[in-house]
Structure 1
Amino acid sequence: MDNKRDILALLRAVAAGDAAPEDALLELKQSPFEDLGYAKVDFHRPVRQGNCEVIYGAGKTPEQISGILSAMHERCCGNILVTRLDPAAAEKVGKTAVLDYSPTARLAVAWPRADTPALGHIVVASGGTSDMAVSEEAALTAEAMGNRVTRLYDVGVAGLHRLLSNLDVLMSARCVVAVAGMEGALASVVGGLVDCPVIAVPTSVGYGANFGGLSALLSMLNSCASGVSVVNIDNGFGAGYLASMINQMEGAQE
């Protein structure tokens, strides 16, 4: 089981008489984690948070990543996210696991599930093409977690008409992820147009006074638009994860 939908399906099978309570209990109470020596793989993450554990690839060897993936796959986990995975490591890990890898986002989905739903509507908007790596990390994360995602790339405030031509898409979203570097103004503009939560993602794109994304971060934190929250610099994964939680809140799919 890799998400709360699988757990609910198991419980509904018990309620319908299609599965024995004892079998369901055994599946749920199996060891909550496995100690691999270099990692303690958390198998109860879906019970607590709704999705299986995500692997942060930077700083781990391909062998360590493969070992963690193997342990999770043995527990029937799918759509396992591996973030910040460089192409060389992805090539090695791909020899032992089924990977859907994006070199742009440096993100892999291991053992992708064909039955992944596309619920609700999340929009990922970027200020410029240079923000695409972070934007794709957010979009792919949300899609792997079962959300419908629309990408609006290169719609920054330097050419505001590009954003305004997509108002119908923005206003139909349940959550918008606004990704921008430079001065980070996109989040404030989007926040003033929509009635849903906006997750602002500052990027490290910009010239010297951008300070590696700090100027965009401070601009977004000081946004005058209501309903804008901010994640860390270049944290597309965190934005995609949070957008998924908002989009799939109880009753949001009605």
Structure 2
Amino acid sequence: MEQDQLLKVLQDVANAALTPADAIQKFGNESFEELDYAKIDTTRTRRTGYPEVIYGAGKTAEQIIGIVTAMKERQKSILATRVDSKKAAAILKTLPFLDYDATSETLIARAKKVEEVGNIAIVTAGTSDMKVAEEAAVTAEIFGNHVTRIYDVGVAGIHRLFAKLEIIRQANVVIVIAGMEGALTSVVGGLVDHPVIAVPTSIGYGSNLGGMTPLLTMLNSCSSGISVVNIDNGFGAAYNASMINRLISEAHE
């Protein structure tokens, strides 16, 4: 248990706001906080360097409210992904300190002071990939990374990519997001000297197969230095990119 949390528990006991028995239970479960429907991981930041994030799909508005309420006492930033607008509206009535981004479908509370490090470039093949891209961008930003957005530069008009190539090359990590056949990843991978993380999206016509076509294209890319995350997984790409970006930034210090 962190020192400030320990002090609060002791103060609550001294003020008779918490019984000694309840205090012992808190000490015993210091690695998580028990709710009826969830267990809040209270030591994730200490273990991994990153706070717990709420996956909103499949959770009710009331459950998310309860989880956020428990989490905000322990971590400075809050991120909930995959929260649709109807659910978000219900949550914001109770938790107005949260901000909702409709494009990425994320609910966030940012720490007042976040020192951005390094640079992650997020590159999309098309405008239709922006939902996944913004999930990645919001995630990377709340984890303290500087993010450069470069959208709609797919291979159908490859001159658009070349016009932004020098900006892309300045990033420590590049996240490439593409649907259809997913060819953009191989092109970018052959033009930069930093890690590339590929995100296949479910955007495309019938033979896109819900993202399976770009997934297989990216997995079979002939460009080296590319890693691939799951379909539409902007969050996972940003998490991985953030870890790489921080290692690079720390090495330059």
Q: TM-score, normalised by structure 1?
A: 0.87
Aligned partner letter, 1:46: T
Q: How much has 1:25 moved relative to structure 2? A: 9.2
Q: How many residues align?
A: 231
Partner of 2:198: helix, strand, or coil?
strand
5 Å matches for 1:48-67? 48-67=47-66
- Segments of 4+ in structure 1 off by > 2 A? 23-27, 250-254
CA displacement at 1:44 relative to structure 2: 0.3
Residue of structure 1 in register with 2:184 after alignment: 186
1:25 and 1:43 map into 2 onto residues whose CA distance is 11
* Of 215, 231, 238, the match for 1:240: 238
Q: Does 1:149 align with 2:172?
A: no
Deviation at 1:253, TM superposition (A): 4.6
Cα-to-partner distance string for 1:153-193 (whole Å, 9 max, x where unaligned): 00001111111111211111100000000010111111001
With over 3 angstroms needed to count, the CA separation of the structure-2 counterparts of 1:253 and 1:85, relative to structure 1, is farther
Consecutive unaligned residues of structure 1, counting only runs of 5 or more, are: 2-6, 8-22
CA contact (8 A) 1:204 1:213 kept: yes
Whether the aligned pair in 2 keeps the contact of 1:119 and 1:253 (CA below 8 Å) is no
Look up the match of 1:88. 86
1:207 CA drift (Å):
0.5
1:78: Cα distance to partner?
2.3
Instruction: Tell me the equivalent position of 1:15.
Output: none
Q: Which amino acid aligns with 1:202?
A: P
CA distance in 2, matches of 1:249, 1:72: 27
1:131 aligns with 2:119: no
Unaligned runs of 5+ in 2: 8-25
How far did 1:95 drift? 2.1
* Distance verdict in 2 for CA 1:167–1:72, change over 3 Å: same
Cα displacement (A) at 1:235: 0.4
Cα gap change, 1:25 to 1:100, in 2 (>3 Å): closer
Residue 37 of structure 1 aligns to a residue whose secondary structure is coil
Would the alpha carbon gap of residues 128 and 24 (structure 1) be closer, same or farther in structure 2, given more than 3 Å must change?
same
Q: Is the 8 A contact 1:120 1:253 kept in 2?
A: no
Shift of 1:24: 6.6
**What TM-score comes out, normalization by structure 2 length?**
0.87
Larger Rg: 2
Give the superposed CA RMSD. 1.8
Aligned to 2:218: 220
Residues in 2 aligned to 1:132 and 1:199: alpha-carbon distance in whole angstroms: 16
Q: Distance in 1 between matches of 2:37 and 2:89?
A: 21
**Are positions 1:42 and 2:41 aligned together?**
yes
Letter in 2 for 1:70: T
Deviations 1:200-254 (Å, cap 9, x if unpaired)? 0000001001100100000000001110000000001111111111101163453
Alpha-carbon distance in 1 for matches of 2:92, 2:247: 34
Distance 1:67 1:253, change over 3 A: farther
Contact 1:184–1:217 (CA under 8 A) maintained in structure 2: yes
1:140 aligns with 2:115: no
- The aligned residue for residue 19 of structure 2 is none
Q: Partners of 1:167 and 1:56 in 2: how far apart?
A: 34
3-state SS of paired residue (1:149): strand
Correspondences of 1:65-84 after superposition (within 5 Å): 65-75=64-74, 77-84=75-82
Superposed CA deviations along residues 99-131 of structure 1, whole A, max 9, x for unmatched, are 12111111111x321211211000000000000
